[in-house]
Structure 1
Amino acid sequence: MNHIQGSLLYEGKAKRVFACENPNRVLIEFKNDATAFNAKKRSEIEGKGRLNCKISSALFELLESNGIPTHFLELHSETLMFAEKINVIPLEVVIRNIATGSLCRETPINEGTILTPPLLEFYYKDDKLGDPILTERRLKLLDLISPSQKEEVENITKRSNTILKEYFDSLDLLLVDFKLEFGLNSLGKLVIADEISPDNCRFWDKTNSDPKGRILDKDRFRQDLGGVIDAYEEILKRIEKDLSHAS
């Protein structure tokens, strides 16, 4: 009996995590809350939770089918998914294919520069500290993961990037960059956690040359561009169209 919503274990900016009867499972609820700049900017956007849940489920299944380990188990409803209970590692792993955002604000690299090879970066996951970027020595000093785990995280992230970049290219979307989080399951296995959605990925529409109009991710909220739900709906529509053709 895993289909019972138990006690609230954790509530973050965009999700709630509930206990299940099976102690190795959790039920994750995707909320409609939208945040940016480490929650300094907040809003509620009707329908966002449903879209992120369905998009994440589809992308987790895509990665799993390609041998990438994730915490995802199954979709329960439009806003709820079952996942493995994990011990979250307080790291954000960002991989960048095209320069934008903080990389351009903090360096002289021009917006839109293709990064070859993709740039992989580690950040310490802590809103109070502003999720600071970690150098190799800082990462070693914090001792959050072992050297072998760090290598595994990097390999999984790079493989995921290859799979997702090719997949979205087939949907006429550029995967500009994205963030992954990781954790250890009950067997001590390293898996991708959290979500993969327009909340933590940047997507540009290849069919739209307008620098603002092509944005189909949370940058629409960050930059007050409007049309957040329309953008997320477009991502899901293209994924579901692909899935319908595949079946």
Structure 2
Amino acid sequence: MKQIYTGKTKDVFELEDGSYLLKFKDDVTGENGVFDPGANTVGLTLEGAGRAGLSLTKHFFEALKEQGIPTHYIDANIDEATMTVRPATVFGKGLEVICRYRAVGSFLRRYGLYAEEGQALDAFVEVTLKDDGRQDPPISEDALDMLGILTKAEYAVLKDLTQQIGNVVKAELAKKDIELYDIKFEFGRVGEGKEIVLIDEISGGNMRAYKNGEYIEPLQLEKLMLEA
């Protein structure tokens, strides 16, 4: 297999049959040794984070499959920390789509004049450009369309899928009395029809989740979610 991409938290390989293999690492995003799902740098390495992230990703992708929500997921090998997926092309040079249920993190830093910390939000969807040099700037629907990154029709699909998937994850977490504050997704186009599907992962490293008002670290979230 041929390595085609080296990322912060995973590497991507192309398999002989044309599908892709994602190899999950133990690196997570953050700054100064503190985890932050919205950060654009690797902040720390947590032993077992790769397998933990993949285990939770597999759980959520299979839950989405049951509901007929389109993703790139094919299967996963937890022991090897790998996931096989359908090849997808990203929008432009990559977008991140955040679904927010409470005002925390960068949302609060930007809108703190009007928002209170922890204020409830109604599955607010925010799109940012993957651009480390410019600190992943937020971008509007109009700008996405005008810059040729995606059309307004595609944006509507993207927003709808983001809220659908966010609500599935939120409901799954609620089964363990865990509250989802926000979650970050990535999407891409697959196949000749260029269907928009969820790509990448759904793990503790992509979200902020709390139980009894206390933040849950990514590895602990995986344990709480997958314990019998």
TM-score (norm 1): 0.82
Structure-2 residue corresponding to 1:227: none
Deviation at 1:60, TM superposition (A): 0.8
Structure 1 pair 34–236 and aligned structure 2 pair: CA distance change class (3 A): closer
Unmatched runs of 5 consecutive residues or more in structure 1:
1-5, 217-230
Structure-2 residue corresponding to 1:142: 147
In structure 2, the residue corresponding to 1:204 is in which secondary structure?
Answer: strand
Deviation at 1:106, TM superposition (A): 1.2
Structure-2 residue corresponding to 1:132: 137
Select 2:24's aligned residue among 18, 27, 30. 30
Deviation at 1:233, TM superposition (A): 3.4
In structure 2, the residue corresponding to 1:171 is in which secondary structure?
Answer: coil
In structure 2, the residue corresponding to 1:133 is in which secondary structure?
Answer: coil
Structure-2 residue corresponding to 1:3: none
The one-letter amino acid of 2:24's match is F
Structure 1 CA distance for aligned equivalents of residues 28 and 125 of structure 2: 25
Percent of pairs identical after alignment? 30
- Kindly provide the CA deviation profile for residues 70-103 of structure 1, in whole angstroms up to 9, marking residues without a partner as x: 1111012331111111112221111100110111
Structure 2 CA distance for aligned equivalents of residues 184 and 136 of structure 1: 18
In structure 2, the residue corresponding to 1:53 is in which secondary structure?
Answer: helix
Q: How does 1:159-198 map to 2 (within 5 A)?
A: 159-187=164-192, 188-198=194-204
Structure-2 residue corresponding to 1:221: none
Structure-1 residue corresponding to 2:71: 70
Structure-1 residue corresponding to 2:226: 240
Structure 1 pair 112–201 and aligned structure 2 pair: CA distance change class (3 A): same
Structure 2 CA distance for aligned equivalents of residues 168 and 77 of structure 1: 21
Structure 2 CA distance for aligned equivalents of residues 170 and 76 of structure 1: 25
Structure 2 CA distance for aligned equivalents of residues 203 and 11 of structure 1: 27
- Over 6 Å off, 4+ runs: none
TM-score (norm 2): 0.88
Deviation at 1:179, TM superposition (A): 1.0
Select 2:7's aligned residue among 7, 12, 29. 12
Structure 1 pair 132–65 and aligned structure 2 pair: CA distance change class (3 A): same
Deviation at 1:67, TM superposition (A): 1.3
- Kindly provide the CA deviation profile for residues 191-227 of structure 1, in whole angstroms up to 9, marking residues without a partner as x: 100111111111001xx34xxxx111xxxxxxxxxxx
Alpha-carbon contact 2:204-2:219 (below 8 Å) kept:
no
1:95 aligns with 2:99: yes
Structure 2 CA distance for aligned equivalents of residues 215 and 60 of structure 1: 23
Structure 2 CA distance for aligned equivalents of residues 195 and 33 of structure 1: 14
Structure 2 CA distance for aligned equivalents of residues 181 and 131 of structure 1: 13
1:201 aligns with 2:207: yes
Deviation at 1:118, TM superposition (A): 2.1
Structure 1 CA distance for aligned equivalents of residues 163 and 222 of structure 2: 23
The one-letter amino acid of 1:30's match is F
The one-letter amino acid of 2:104's match is T
Structure 1 CA distance for aligned equivalents of residues 26 and 166 of structure 2: 27
Unmatched runs of 5 consecutive residues or more in structure 2:
31-38
Q: Which moved more, 1:167-176 or 1:138-147?
A: 138-147
Q: How does 1:220-239 map to 2 (within 5 A)?
A: 231-239=217-225
Structure 1 CA distance for aligned equivalents of residues 120 and 159 of structure 2: 20
Structure 2 CA distance for aligned equivalents of residues 99 and 173 of structure 1: 17
Structure 2 CA distance for aligned equivalents of residues 163 and 59 of structure 1: 8
Alignment length, in residue pairs? 214
